[in-house]
Amino acid sequence: MKVISSINAFKEARHKIDGSVGFVPTMGYLHEGHLVLVRHAKAENQVAVASIFVNPTQFGPKEDFARYPRDTERDLALLAKEKTDMVFMPPAEEMYPQGFGTWVDVAKVTEVLEGAVRPGHFRGVATVVTKLFNIVEPTRAYFGQKDAQQVVVIKKIVADLDMNLDVVVVPTQREPDGLAMSSRNVYLNSEERQAALVLWKSLNLARQICSQGERRTENVRQQMTSLIQKEPLARIDYISIAHTETLEELAEIQLPALVSLAVYVGKTRLIDNIILRS
């Protein structure tokens, strides 16, 4: 497994590759959700590439950039075990050198949900992903459905800027009790870890209500809210029932629909989602 930290060195190595390249961009502190993406990249391409880069430009001033979990040695061991071919691991000054001043802004789909409560977040995501795609030149790039809005944004970048790659979305990986796998789960103590199950329970409630014929989103949202409010450690940031591509809120559920939420459990902010299908 080659580990490369320089953009120029990576480009040089990339140009020696014949055949398809599957790419998994990560911020490290890998879990099974990331490794499933790597397995897809490995199975569906001749070369599998992962990146590890905690991108400072997608964190707000009051967010957890400084304390975001990091364990590079463990990450590299996990990637080696999956037989990843190459790992791109640049320092921040390599990605954002002095004088850097070009940003990728995606309109509309970044202005709601996470974008509404995390100003500038998707500008950072869109810029770093565009840079990584330019450096890695993947045939296919792999993302988890857990970050549903990020997936919509990245698909739009690829379509709008005529990028020559496929975005492959892999279902959210969950713990046996349903909690969506996330690097931030490490912040939860045992009591909070149990309380965090309320996200998955509320999404399942939405699915159940919808399957029984309810189509008014306000009714679904109210029942989800009532369930979450019974958990004393949980505080709702938002609950959304939206169009899967435009992310516009729906008054009446039209399938498919994206049900997503952000909930604070203790001090940790967790997100999750499901897609309601016919």
Q: Name the pLDDT band for 36 (thresholds 50, 70, 90).
A: very high
Q: Are 117 and 31 in contact (CB under 8 A)?
A: no
Residue 62 has a pLDDT of: 84
What integer is the mean pLDDT of 92-119?
97
Q: Is the pLDDT of residue 152 over 90?
A: yes
- d(C-alpha 193, C-alpha 190), whole Å: 5
Write phi, then psi, for 133 (nearest 5 degrees): -65, -40
Average pLDDT over residues 150-173: 98
Contact 38, 48 (CB under 8 A): yes
Token pair of 209, please?
A: 């209500």
Distance of CA 241 to the CA centre of its chain: 18
pLDDT digits (tens, 9 = 90+) for 50-87: 999 999 999 998 899 998 999 999 999 999 999 999 99
> CA-to-CA distance for 68 and 59, rounded, in angstroms?
10
Could you tell me the domains of the chain? 2-170 (3.40.50.620), 183-276 (3.30.1300.10)
* Amino acid code (one letter) for 56: P
Inform me whether the pLDDT recorded for 278 exceeds 90: no
Quote the percentage of the chain above a pLDDT of 70: 100
How long, in residues, is the chain?
A: 278
Our answer to whether residue 243 is catalytic in this structure is: no
| Residue pair 146/200 in contact by the 8 Å Cβ criterion | no
Write out pLDDT tens, residues 179-204.
999 999 999 999 999 999 999 999 99
**Active-site position among 15, 31, 34, 40:** 34
Sorted by sequence, the CB contacts under 8 Å of residue 247 that are 6+ apart come out as 108, 109, 112, 113, 149, 152, 240, 258
Angle at 159 between CA 126 and CA 167, to 5 degrees: 75
Dig out the tokens for 25 from the structure.
């961009």
Give me the mean pLDDT over the 231-255 stretch. Answer: 98
Average pLDDT (238-255) is 98
The average confidence (pLDDT) of the chain is 97
Q: Write the secondary structure of the chain as one string of H (helix), E (strand) and C (coil).
A: CEEECCHHHHHHHHCCCCCCEEEEEECCCCCHHHHHHHHHHHHHCCEEEEEECCCHHHCCCCCCCCCCCCCHHHHHHHHHHCCCCEEECCCHHHHCCCCCCCCCCCCCCCCCCHHHHCCCHHHHHHHHHHHHHHHHCCCEEEEECCCHHHHHHHHHHHHHCCCCCEEEEECCCECCCCCECCHHHHHCCHHHHHHCHHHHHHHHHHHHHHHCCCCEHHHHHHHHHHHHHCCCCEEEEEEEEEECCCCCECCECCCCEEEEEEEEECCEEEEEEEEECC
Please, are residues 109 and 30 in contact by the beta-carbon 8 Å criterion? no
Q: What would the mean pLDDT of 158-187 be, rounded to a whole number?
A: 97
